[in-house]
Amino acid sequence: MSALDLAVIGGSGLYSFPGLENTARHTLHTPYGPASGDVVQGDFAGMRVAFLARHGEGHNLPPHRVNYRANLWALHQLGARRVIGVNAVGGIRHDMGPQAIVVPDQLIDYTHGRYTSYCDAEGAEVKHIDFSEPYTASLRQQLLAAAHTAGIAVIDGGCYGATQGPRLETRAEIARMKRDGCDLVGMTGMPEAALARELSLDYACLALVANFAAGCGDEAEISIEEIFAHLAAATAQVPRLLAALPKS
């Protein structure tokens, strides 16, 4: 089994992929510098899977310092065609509370100062990608069907608002995002999704809600300890969900 069936980019709380067997590590050099770390490739549930920890295996990279271009290029270089981005997020919508799992279908980009395109490289072809639907519809449906097969509750659809980080947002910022139509807030959804589109990769997001965003829950203050506890509970379901995905 040599073909790569799936690539997974792990977010906060997912620094290795449980159940990956017969693994090999790849340190890849890209035209855009180093990726966040080694890509670990192995067998999982009858698939050949590549895994990359977005923040590094020791969570040493804040969201605005992640080399998104190198990460996507490295996975593409290994032969990835389907990429699942696992993202820790805050919930804005009332039904997207801690430990919820969401497969969003839209996003709004509030980030700044990041390398957002491969077109930034000198001499590169300028591509005006169609980004009206930022996530690949067929891969979103595969995730939803896999969750149903695995008996895992997920929410279909929602708008992911990508903020700069690494700080959490103010109540006023979340109120603005809510007015804009955002249902979730995270720090790593962009430019990852757009870069995947530029490389013609199928890409979808599996958003794990770690906490209610500022002003959306009952908490006076968001506890980092509670965030990681909720995140661990949601993350524990990811391997079982992905195991139910069809092979590419």
CA 90/CA 178 separation, integer angstroms = 12
pLDDT score for 121: 74
| 248 falls within a domain | no
Would the pLDDT of 83 be above 90? Answer: yes
pLDDT score for 3: 76
Among the ranges given (2-16, 92-106, 188-202), the one the predictor scored with the smallest mean pLDDT: 2-16
Would the pLDDT of 185 be above 50? Answer: yes
| 10 falls within a domain | yes
Closest CA to 32 of 65, 61, 74, 81: 74
Would you place residue 125 in the very low, low, confident or very high pLDDT band (cuts 50, 70, 90)? confident
| 225 falls within a domain | yes
CA 84/CA 208 separation, integer angstroms = 13
Average pLDDT over residues 14-22: 91
| 219 falls within a domain | yes
| 119 falls within a domain | yes
Q: Is 29 annotated as a binding residue?
A: no
Q: Is 22 annotated as a binding residue?
A: no
Would the pLDDT of 10 be above 90? Answer: yes
Would you place residue 147 in the very low, low, confident or very high pLDDT band (cuts 50, 70, 90)? very high
pLDDT score for 1: 36
| 178 falls within a domain | yes
Q: Is 213 annotated as a binding residue?
A: yes
The token pair that represents 204 in the structure block? 């979808």
CATH number at residue 207: 3.40.50.1580
Would the pLDDT of 225 be above 80? Answer: yes
How far is residue 80 from each of residues 47, 64, 130, 140, measured CA to CA in Å? 12, 24, 21, 17
| 1 falls within a domain | no
Average pLDDT over residues 160-180: 97
Q: Is 55 annotated as a binding residue?
A: yes
Q: Is 54 annotated as a binding residue?
A: yes
Q: For residue 100, give its domain range.
A: 6-243
Residues, the chain: 248
Helix (H, G, I), strand (E, B) or coil at 40: strand
CA 111/CA 23 separation, integer angstroms = 35
Whether the upstream peptide bond of residue 239 has omega within 30° of 0, thus cis, is no
- Number of domains the chain contains: 1
Percentage of the chain beyond pLDDT 70 is 97
Q: Is 214 annotated as a binding residue?
A: no
Q: Is 187 annotated as a binding residue?
A: yes
The residue type of 75 is L
pLDDT score for 220: 63
* Helix or strand holding residue 33 (H, E): strand 33-34
